[in-house]
Amino acid sequence: MIAVPANKNKISNMEIVSFTFGVLSVIAVVFASVIVLSIVKVLKLQQQIKELQNELGHTHTQIFDGDKNVHQRIDKDVDQIHHRIERDVEQIQRQLDETRSYIDSRIDKLTASKQVIKG
C-alpha cells in the first residue's frame, strides 16, 4: 500500500474559504444582474406609462373637441330651426291677415250689394 500523506485527504481552511468566496461571488453577480435587469424593466415601464398618459390626454382632447363640435352643430341647427319656425309663423300670420281682409272686403261688398238691391 502506498502511504498518503495526511495533508492531502484533509481540505484546508483556505480552500473552504476560497470555495465559499467563489460561490458568494457567483451569487452576488447573479443578484446584481437581477437588480440591473429589474431597474431597466422598471424604467421601460415608466416610459410606457408616460407615453400612455400622453396618448390618453391627447385622446381626451380629441373627444372633448369632437363633443364641442357636435354641440356647436346642434346649437346651430336648433337656431336655424327656430328662425325657420318664426319665419313660417310670420308668413302664416300674414296669410291669415290677408284672408281676413279679403273676407271682410267681400262681406262689405256683399252687404253693400244687398243694400243697393233693397234700396
Asked, for residue 23, whether it belongs to a domain, the answer is yes
Residue 97, domain member (yes or no): yes
**Assigned domain for 43 exists:** yes
107 located within any domain: yes
- Residue 63 belongs to a domain: yes
The CA–CA distances, whole Å, from 105 to 66, 108, 110, 117 equal 58, 5, 8, 18
Divide the 119 residues of the chain into consecutive groups of 10 and give the mean pLDDT of each group.
53 87 96 97 97 93 89 94 96 95 90 77
1 part of a folded domain: no
Domain range enclosing 27:
11-118
pLDDT of residue 110: 85
Structural domain contains residue 80: yes
* Number of domains observed in the structure of the chain: 1
Residue 6 lies in a domain: no
